[in-house]
A = this chain, B = another copy of it.
Amino acid sequence: MTEDRSLPLRERKRLRTRRALADTALRMFSEKGFEATTLDELVDAVEVSKSTFFRAFPAKEAVAIEAEAELWSAYLAALRERRFSGLVLGELRDALAGAAAALGPGWDERYLATRRLVLTAPALLAYVEHHRTGVEREVVACLAAKLGLDPDDLRLHVLAELTTTAWSVSGRDWVRRDGEGGRAALIRRLEGAFQAVPAALHLSAGD
């Protein structure tokens, strides 16, 4: 995880400054607050120029949620190379759980810090929502291709959203308990959440 020896030198350097930015940002934002920390302070601390920052990240918000982005990027990769059989919802659940399990060590702490940070900055919350919607779009496109369905098929959108929602709610609980039990506990929560999904449709107001 520290370094990928096979990559060209240039790429390794790029990734190194990228990680330096993400790590420093997470620390500074957590200490001083997201809005109170300016980009100038961040790039100063990492000793790169603002230009370099915007070549690595599209927005100030993006550098704060690297851990979140890594998860969804791994999830998408897992989905794309997966062979589907049986219930699609189950496949999505397994792809997400597998992706989370396979992330590098130390991801847990970074993700916990990220989620905590998101709770303190409305702009970050909006950005995470937006990011997840983008993921859902790609999931729908991927499923449509694999299953030979229309990308506008409502069922695909529902399935894609159910998955991110299950993650979101599971993660919220996990963070509330300070990430107790680490990543394994988070994934267990996720699988529990998926079991509860079908019950939603039959929920009835029977006082």
Assembly CA distance A168 to B140 (angstroms): 14
For residue A199, which residues in chain B have a CB less than 8 angstroms away from its CB?
155
A194, closest chain B residue (CB): B154
- Decide yes or no whether A50 CB sits under 8 A from chain B: no
A154 to chain B, nearest CB (A): 5
Inter-chain contacts of A168 with B (CB < 8 A):
157
Interface residues on A, range: 35 or more
A2 at the interface (CB under 8 A from B): no
Q: Which one, B85, B154, B172, B201, contacts A205 given CB within 8 A? A: B85
Are B173 and A87 touching (Cβ within 8 A)?
A: no
A202, B87: Cα distance in complex, Å: 6
Which A residues between 1 and 46 are near B, CB-CB below 8 angstroms? none
Task: List the B side residues contacting A200 at CB < 8 Å.
Answer: 89, 154-156, 158-159, 162
* Copies per assembly: 2
Find out whether the CB atom of A154 lies under 8 angstroms from the CB atom of B133. no
Q: Is A94 an interface residue (CB 8 A)?
A: no
Residues of B contacting A173 in the complex (Cβ-Cβ under 8 angstroms): 152
For chain A, residues 166 to 190, give those with C-beta under 8 angstroms from any C-beta of chain B.
Answer: 166, 168-169, 172-173
Interface membership of A121, Cβ < 8 A: no
Give A contacts to B, CB under 8 Å: 84-89, 91, 126, 129-130, 133, 146-147, 152, 154-159, 161-162, 165-166, 168-169, 172-173, 193, 196-205
Can you list the 8 inter-chain pairs with the closest CB atoms, starting with the nearest?
A84-B205, A155-B200, A158-B200, A126-B130, A88-B203, A129-B133, A154-B196, A154-B169
